[in-house]
Structure 1
Amino acid sequence: MITPRFPKNESARLKAVKSYQLLDTLPEEDFDNITNLVSNLIDVPISLITLLDAERNFLKSHYGIPFNEAPRDTSFCGHAILSENDLFEIKDARLDPRFENNPLVKEHNAIFYAGAPLINSDGFPLGTLCIFDSKPRVLSNKQKKSLVILAKQVVQLFELRKNNLELREVREELKFQNNNLKNFAGHVSHDMKMPLANMIVTTDILKKKYGDRLDDKALQYLTNLKRSSFSLSEYISNLLDHYESDKTDNTVDSFYLNHLLEDLVDLLQINTNCHINFPEDDVEIICNRVALEQILLNLIGNSLKYNDKEHTIIDISCTIKDEFYNFSVTDNGVGIPEDKLETVFNLFSTVGNLDRNGNKGHGIGLSTVKNLVKSLGGTIMVTSKIGESTTFSFTVVKPEVFD
């Protein structure tokens, strides 16, 4: 018997084998289907998918035998991976000096062998797709071609499995980093709110206590400082709302929409010439009330802020179709440019319009709205005409859909 020698690039080859994370894994249907197919297609009792480890031949799939590994130094596959041909074939192992006194031949009657090396994209032979028979035989050209083609399919399955594992690792890493970012944003935002509140109060104290000693320019500086502090405080609040929007619980409430809208209008304390049209039918809604409140509060608030008309009109509708509540909020405001419609829900994406008070948006609110709509099982879209109107349409799935 001649022990198969190691390839010259054995260290790199072993690294490639281990990169697929297949060694010592359980049987998988995709691979077992191939060995089953090969055995029936070529009419042989044994068909294997093997991976050559440092000292053993691991059988990822083994049709016709009960064990899943064997010593590498007695393996036929150890010789097969050294072959420069697409197929390594031994018609009668009893007549080949490489397998004289080989226990596989003597004890397990492994007379015939054919193995197609599993070559990955980097050119490393990982193992084989191989067959055994207990009698001498010769494969037809069609059988040889089938075995080589199926070996390439095995490699494709290896690659697909490896890619899936890598994608899973990337996804887990992104999830981990995203959680870190959320925690960081939350801590920073909470830590900044108190100093900002102190700045706002301090500017009022300075104006009240020293206002008569300050000139107009100094007073304007204090006004600007207070306005900037409020703007930053609002930005931080919106950021916190965004990062907490995906934490919406599954609480389900039953309430009437118009009652909710009346509460929101009171909360907004609207001080502009505005008319808000509620739905004609006071629809009973069953969903997470807090989440829907936040969605409508943001959309109505935007309709108020980004409106250049003397008289603001906001139309709110709600209909029920199949398993969804269908909402829309339409205003007669400044509108959104067509080239911004696709990105308006992206975090930190802004249209560029200034609100009624001359402030620019932070690009957080609509991203938060999208997260909340998604948490309620729905989708959201926007249509707009510059200078005329904007309509946000969104759906909320009825709770029985989740049952």
Structure 2
Amino acid sequence: MSERGVGVVERELLDRARDAEIARRRDYYARLELVAELDRAAVAEVTGDRGTVRLLQAQWNVDHAEAKRLLDEAGDLVARRSLQGERLPARFPCTAAAVAVGAIGPGHVVVIRRAMARLERVDGLGVEDWVEADRFLAEKARQMSPAGLTALAKALVAHLDPDGEAPPEGEDRRDELHVVRRRDGRLDFKGSLHDPADAEVFLGAIDPLAEKLGPEDTRSLERRRADALKEVVENADPSSTPAGDDSAAGDEPEPALIPQPRRPEPATKPPARPSGSGRVLLTLTMDHRWLQQAVGHGVLDSGALVHPQSVRRLACDAGIIPMVLGSRSEPLDVGRQQRTAPDAIRRALVVRDGGCAFPGCTRPPQRCHAHHIQSWLDHGDTAVENMCLLCRFHHQLVHHGHWTITMIDGRPWFTPPDWINPDRQPRPGGRPRAVSWAGGAVAAA
């Protein structure tokens, strides 16, 4: 679709859709106000119900969980009364104001309440910081989907409480793999990897091999991952000698007797792909001071936090590519020399954007393209300052021309079309990161 294709009829429909969503969100807040009023007036005592939750269940024919959620949200977002009858602001006044005007919806409220509840348990966090977190999250919720806000809230909590959320060292002790061979030869298995770093390595090995091989590849994601796992196993070398064991050194392996397959090979097989290229490249970002002191946490591309001891352990058995942000140690600008991003630029984009840079998108880096903000064909340079990571969908969306990208302070900002935001207010893209706010506290942006 092109810009000239959005005519008067389409714009009218888009405006009606936006107005309908705003009205729905305002009705949702009016519903919370009604719940608060029912609770404040103790109506349940008159009707004989066991509290406001039970009253809502009977009155609206909803489940207990929904009735309790509505009462809890009303307690956080609706203005209160003191014992003397004075009007008090809502516990989360900025979030309440955003919901009241229809700027954010129930999904955003769930994310903000979860983050604020987590911040309440952070030792040493001042009341001013807690209030500022409400303001910050409510402001960002106006620009992001609940999924994008979730990543932002996680970054905020992780920065305000760096030791609180990282999983403890030794999580792999709970790893398990259950394998059952059926009578017909079928193999059933299920398992779990608890260490986020191990999970990242596993997906790093499987998912690149599970990519579609072209438009003719109609396999489901589950089937492609199963085929990828078989490919990894088939390429394994069981005859290799473990480190420190030279008992079989120099011995020629016995020829294996390969039985005929029990079933004939299928008539059609998916196109062959190149074999793997060695060990998985694991990208993990961590403050160098934290790494030296074994405190804080590392961050994987997926956003998962890793215990500092796990980071140090991985560093003992990995190819380390140090990256000092802002340094000139790697060529991060090759100008017009080449169109595709070299490895150094791609690594810098991964550190900066963390995956698809489009606001709210959670696609990991390995599923993203390196996009030129000013097209290379229009004399744009192949440089970090002129590039960002975009997943396939958002890459196509940007190339339609409705969304525009501008670099501000070294980060990509995305300006939506006027039918999404009449003011066309730019939205920050890329990985949520820490910045200072007034009063000395720290948040994510």
> TM-score range with shorter-chain normalisation?
under 0.3
Structure with more contact order per residue of length (Cα contacts < 8 Å, sep ≥ 6): 2
Q: Give the TM-score, by structure 2 length.
A: 0.21
Q: Give the TM-score, by structure 1 length.
A: 0.23
Higher alpha-carbon Rg: 1
More helix per residue: 1
More strand per residue: 1
